[in-house]
Amino acid sequence: MKAPIRIQVEREFIAFTALLSTAIALSIDMVLPAFADLRSSFGMEPTSNLPGLTITCIFVGMAIGMPFFGPLADAYGRIPVLRAGIALFALGALGSTLAPNLGSLLASRVLWGIGCAAPRTISQAMIRDKFEGDDMARVMAIVQTIFFAGPVLAPVIGDLLVRTGGSWRLTMLFGLAIAIVIWLWSFRITESLDSANKRDLSFSETKQGLRVVWGNRVTIGYALTLLFSGGAFYSFLSSSELIISEVFKKPTWFVPYFSITMGVMAAVALTGSRVVVRIGARRLGHSALAFQLGVSFLMLALALSTDGVPPVGLWMVLMTAQIAAMVVMMPTMTTLALEPMETLAGTAASTIGFITLAFGAVLGAIVDRQITSTVTPLAVGYALYTSLAVVVVLTMVRKNNSEHCNPG
C-alpha cells in the first residue's frame, strides 16, 4: 500500500473508532439537559434524582454486554459483531424514544447500553490489532480527543433539541441516527483481526482465554485502577445537573460548564497523545493518578470546610482538574492493560470494560444516592476511590512490571 493511501486509511480507521467511542458519550450525555423535561413528563418532583437512572442504566447494560462481545469478536471478527451490537443500540434508542413510562424507558436504556458494549469493546480491540506499545497509547489518546467532542456537543445538542422540539424524546431519537451512521460506515472499514488469530467459540476456549486475562496481574491491576479512579466520575455524570441546579443554584450554568469542561478535557487528551510518545504510557498514567489523588483531597478539604457548599467557581476548577487527570489515565492505563493480550484483545477489552462499568456503576450509585444538598458525598467518594486506585497500583502493578511488555 502506498504511503499516502496508507495514511488515509489509518486516518479513516482512527476517525471510525473515535466515532464508536463518541456514540457512547452521546448516548450518555445527550439526555442531561432534558432531565427537567423528563421529570415533568413523568410527574416527578423538581428535585428528583430519578432521571439519573437513565445514565446508570446505560452503564448497567454495557456491563451486561461486555462479557459477550469480546469473545464473540475474537471468534467471528470485529466488524460482524460490531454490526450486531449496533442493531441492539438502535433498538434501545428506538424503545427509549417511544417509552410511555419511566420503567419502559429504563428498560430500553439497559438494552441501549448492551448495544453500547459492542463499540466500546470492539474499538479497543481494533486498535490493539493494529498498534502496540506507546504507539497504541498515542492512537488511544487521539481517539480520546475526538471522543470528547461527544460530551462537548451532547449537552448543547440535547438542550437545542429540547428547546426547539419541546421534548426529551428527541434526545433519544438522535441515538438512532448515530446507529445508522455507524452501520453504514462499517462497510468501508477493513476487518482488523487476522483470520489466523481467530479463536474457536467453545466453552473450553473461552474459559481458557478468560483464565489468561484474569490471571495477568498487570491487566487486572490496571483494570481495577481504572475502576477506582473513575468510580466517582459515574456519580458526577448522574448528579452534575442536580449539583449545579440545586446545590449551587446555578441552573443556567450547566450546559456552558459542561461544554467548557469537556473542551478542556479534549485539549488535555490531545496534549497527552504527544507527551506519551516522549515519556511512555506508564510514567504518564502513574503521574496522572498521583495528580488526581492530590486534587481529590483538596476537594474533600474544601467541602468539609464549607459545609458541603463551596464557592462554585473554585469547585468547578477542581472538578475540571479531577476529570482532566482521568482523561490522561484512561488511554494510557487501558493501553498498559491490553499490552500483554495480543491474541486476546477482544476478551481482554470486554473484561476491562466489565470491571470498570459493572462495578463502576455500583461505586457511582453509592455516592450518587447520598447527594442531596451538598457536594461532600462526591468529595468523599473521590478521595476514597482514588486512594484505593493508588493502593492497587502499588500492590498489583509495580510488583509485576516484568509481566508488561512495554512499560514505557
Spatial distance between the Cα atoms of 56 and 102, rounded to a whole number of angstroms: 13
pLDDT tens readout for residues 154-172: 778 888 888 887 788 898 9
Alpha helix (H) residue ranges in 307-375: 312-338, 345-354, 360-368
Please list, in sequence order, all residues whose beta carbon lies within 8 angstroms of the beta carbon of residue 368, skipping any fewer than 6 positions away: 49, 52, 56, 234, 235, 238, 239
Report the range out of 28-37, 80-89, 304-313, 353-362 with the highest average pLDDT.
Answer: 80-89
If pLDDT is split at 50, 70 and 90, which confidence band does 402 have? Answer: very low
The pLDDT tens digits of the residues spanning 330-387 come to: 888 888 888 887 777 788 888 888 888 778 878 887 887 788 788 898 899 999 999 9
Predicted local distance difference test score (pLDDT) of residue 149? 67
pTM for the model stands at 0.72
C-alpha cell belonging to residue 72: 464473540
Closest by CA position to 330, among listed 98, 171, 88, 148: 148
What's the pLDDT score for residue 7?
A: 58
Distance, in Å, from the CA atom of 187 to the CA atom of 202, rounded to the nearest integer, reads 28
Cα distances from 118 to residues 158, 199, 282, 343, 395, in angstroms, run 24, 18, 27, 18, 32
The model's confidence at residue 185, banded by pLDDT at 50, 70 and 90, is very high
**Banded model confidence at residue 261, pLDDT cuts 50, 70, 90:** confident
Confidence of residue 293 (pLDDT cuts 50, 70, 90): very high
Superfamily of structural domain 3-189+201-400: MFS general substrate transporter like domains (1.20.1250.20)
Q: Residue 71 corresponds to which amino acid?
A: P
Please determine, for residue 403, whether its predicted confidence score (pLDDT) is greater than 90: no
Contacts of 358 (CB under 8 A, 6+ apart): 59, 60, 63, 66
